[in-house]
Amino acid sequence: MTESRYSERGDRSQNGERSERPRRFVSRPKFCQFCSDKNLVIDYKNVEMMSRYINETGKIRPRRQTGACAKHQREVAKAVKNARHIALLPFEGDFWTENN
């Protein structure tokens, strides 16, 4: 149980326990792509962009996957919800396979 949790949160320091454990998950250097690129606007109308922030089941992807900072993750979440309301994104389910 605990093993799997550590691998999921590989970027989190766990009171020095981490050094003894062989790491299976190597975390990428994370930065917020919206902070580093000011021209990148979070737009709920852009389906191609918004579909990157939901997973196969239609859920909003967590920060540890999107790499967004807290501020921009809130904006992403809001945009996904707007896009869902006007049926650009699904509330549930895989819409890539259904659309093709």
Residues making contact with other proteins (CB under 8 A): 44-45, 82, 84-91, 93, 95, 99
Q: Are 63 and 73 in contact (CB under 8 A)?
A: yes
Q: Give the three-class secondary structure for 98.
A: helix
Cβ at position 90, least distance to other proteins in Å: 4
Cβ at position 5, least distance to other proteins in Å: 33
Best CA proximity match to 77, nearest among 62, 92, 67: 62
Closer Cβ to other proteins, 10 or 77, answer by number: 77
Closer Cβ to other proteins, 13 or 100, answer by number: 100
Transcribe 30-78 into DSSP letters. Answer: ---HHHH-TT----TT-HHHHGGGB-TTSPBPPHHHH---HHHHHHHHH
Cβ at position 53, least distance to other proteins in Å: 14
Closer Cβ to other proteins, 69 or 82, answer by number: 82
